[in-house]
Amino acid sequence: MSITITPITEAHADEVLAIYQAGIDEGNATFETTAPTWVQFDAAKTPEHRFAALDADGKVLGWVAASRVSDRCAYAGVVEHSVYVHPGARGRGVARSLLQALIASTETAGIWTIQSGIFPENSASLAVHARVGFRVIGTRERIGRHHGVWRDVVLLERRSPAVD
């Protein structure tokens, strides 16, 4: 399968948000219960670190996006990211390609740490993150309720070997 990685633009909004909602509906992607609007998504995600994976017909297969962790200057090189893949496109290297694009863009920008929190039940996401160099740094136990149930979150990070 041919995959093209491209920056996310407003032209991708409907497909990106539908994939986000599909992940939400499955129950192991996020504490969110509904996808944001495009305006909310656009405001929350840094434009230089958000990408869509497209098939040969230009259909969005998945996306990755990062947000600043803090406005404090000490955290200027730290972002938190999310990656979502359309259910019909899983197992084809889409998430890996997206994560590699994110790693390249963040390293070019001097970002030294990419972090994320993943539900422990999301074994596929944990595995693909490990394959591209993320490591588990801990588990936040019972950090929040999701549909009335306490959930743990596994914390992962990737420290760039290229950024000093």
Residues 102-153 pLDDT 10s: 999 999 999 999 999 999 999 999 999 999 999 999 999 999 999 999 999 9
3-class DSSP assignment, residue 25: helix
User: What local confidence, expressed as pLDDT, does residue 164 receive?
Assistant: 80
The pLDDT of residue 118 is: 97
Domain 4-159 has CATH 3.40.630.30: yes
Cβ atoms of 7 and 98 within 8 Å: the answer is no
Cross-strand partners of 84: 63
Measured CA to CA, the distance from residue 69 to residue 50 in angstroms comes to 15
Nearest CA to 65 out of 77, 78, 81 is that of 81
pLDDT at 68: 95
The answer on pLDDT for 83 being more than 90 is yes
- Check pLDDT > 90 for residue 43: yes
Write down the pLDDT at residue 29: 93
pLDDT for position 44: 96
How far is the C-alpha of 19 from the C-alpha of 9, rounded, in Å? Answer: 15
